[in-house]
Structure 1
Amino acid sequence: MDTAVMHTAFRPIAPGEVHRWGGAALLAARRSDLRTAPPLSPAELRVARALPDRRRADWLAGRLLVKLLAREAFTAPAYEVEVLPRADGSPYLLVGGSPVPGLHVSISHTARHVAAALAPEPVGVDLCETASAPLVRRVTDHVFSPRELSLIGTERPEALAGAWALKEAAVKADRSGVFGPAPRRIEILGLGPPVLGGRRRAMAWRTGDALLALVLARP
């Protein structure tokens, strides 16, 4: 394994606190700490009711965090803040029924964690639990290049989870998908701190037993 990987350490990020990086506002939380449901608009209710129960719980948790972030950015009450899906499934933000120009949103969730980010440029956020490292290991040849694998290694769960979260966050910022050719076009140049190829800025943290990545992609 590359010695750079052996010394990679992801800084912890406190759950439930708004964190700012690179102009983005980021909020991560433990699912068990989310005890209230977000206020939903009629349009959001229609989306939520069409989802299966487990998917609805994920959807509501992500919307709650976005609305908490938006509360800091706008004076509008929470029920006027809407997070609706585009045709490709990516979320976008409305306040008072109107899209907010120049503000981008991203959401991620796992079985135990949820995260959301707002930013003035295309943004992607992703969570990957260290327990998912064996699943990531099965698809390394699809997602990572041989050069990236020599940097990341395949034996350290934290490095694999962090690298996966970075790739997933990057394709979200690009509004593409992790299961197509897009991940191989986004090169990880470093993990500590994260460095990606192209016009992208990236950072990663540990929250609980998950790795959290944030990617900002300049248009």
Structure 2
Amino acid sequence: MTARSRTSLRERTGREQLTQIAYLDTTSPAANLLAARHGTTEDQRFADQHRHPTGQRQRLMVRVLLRALLARHYPVPAEPWKILRADDGAPYLEMGRPGLPAPFISLSHSGDLVACAIGSAAVGIDVERIRPDRPVTALAGTAFGPLETAAVEAAGSDGFYRIWTLREALAKATGAGFGMLMNRTDLVPPTPDAPAPHQDVQGRAWNFAYWRLPEGYGLGLVRLASPAGDAIVSPLGLHDLTEESESTNFPPSEN
């Protein structure tokens, strides 16, 4: 299988499904705990294909994080999930047992953080380490639309990372890839309180959400809008995981 169906999980199962998000500090003690609990030999083989240790760690832990999130929300063991890649490199899931529906997924990593999202319909996620010294106005001018660029000129790095992560998440969710990310067209809400121009993106409506994480990262999420109004659950910081506790949830900042 080289591509996956774009029908929603609700259409295939008849049940509602929230969009779930998690992120993990790969240097935290919880990371090794999760790897021991949820990692597979296939995950390790995939990680080992990267030539650098940092990349190997990111590849392994983002898959471990995905399996941990799946184990929380789906009544099946984590092991049967097959994490595959389409021809364009986008990850997707298959169950080990044929005929069982799988949620849509998206993965991201930056620096020491990895992040993932699962949902009932197309979803994209992007995490970026915030670097205040980057020439954000110049970068915006080479990639963003005019309204988005003006927002970066007004808000600086805060505006840049919000727009950048949302654009990259949108490119993943739509399957459009890098070309959409750099097309210098306004795609996402230029300010947090602006109406989302989602109806003009591939003729479909999209929901946007962004969080500034306390670890110094920005996290953007885009998902196909749900007619039923399914909630986007705020990110779960699994690096705070203990044997009995959940972890820190952050209030959503949605457009």
Q: Give the corresponding residue for 1:26.
A: 21
Q: CA deviation at 1:176?
A: 2.1
Q: Please give the alpha-carbon distance, in whole angstroms, between the structure 2 residues aligned to 1:46 and 1:30.
A: 21
Q: Please give the alpha-carbon distance, in whole angstroms, between the structure 1 residues aligned to 2:95 and 2:135.
A: 38
CA contact (8 A) 2:140 2:160 kept: no
Counterpart secondary structure, 2:79: helix
Q: Give the corresponding residue for 1:19.
A: none
Matched, 1:177 2:177: yes
Q: CA deviation at 1:91?
A: 0.6
| 1:148-195 deviations in Å (ceiling 9; x for gaps) | 212232662121111100100000101122355764455223431473
Counterpart secondary structure, 1:141: helix
Q: Give the corresponding residue for 2:94.
A: 94
Q: Please give the alpha-carbon distance, in whole angstroms, between the structure 2 residues aligned to 1:165 and 1:181.
A: 10
Q: Give the corresponding residue for 1:211.
A: 218
Tell which deviates more after alignment, 78-87 or 182-191.
182-191
Paired letter, 1:197: H
CA contact (8 A) 2:108 2:115 kept: yes
Counterpart secondary structure, 2:125: strand
Q: Please give the alpha-carbon distance, in whole angstroms, between the structure 1 residues aligned to 2:165 and 2:106.
A: 13
* TM superposition score normalised by structure 1: 0.77
Q: Please give the alpha-carbon distance, in whole angstroms, between the structure 1 residues aligned to 2:95 and 2:185.
A: 34
Q: Please give the alpha-carbon distance, in whole angstroms, between the structure 1 residues aligned to 2:57 and 2:170.
A: 25
Q: Give the corresponding residue for 1:111.
A: 111
Number of residues paired by the alignment? Answer: 197
* TM superposition score normalised by structure 2: 0.67
CA change 1:91–1:135 in 2 (3 A) is farther
RMSD over equivalenced CA pairs, Å: 2.7
Q: Please give the alpha-carbon distance, in whole angstroms, between the structure 2 residues aligned to 1:164 and 1:134.
A: 13
% identical equivalent positions:
22
CA contact (8 A) 2:141 2:184 kept: no
CA contact (8 A) 1:203 1:215 kept: yes
Give the structure with the higher percent strand: 1
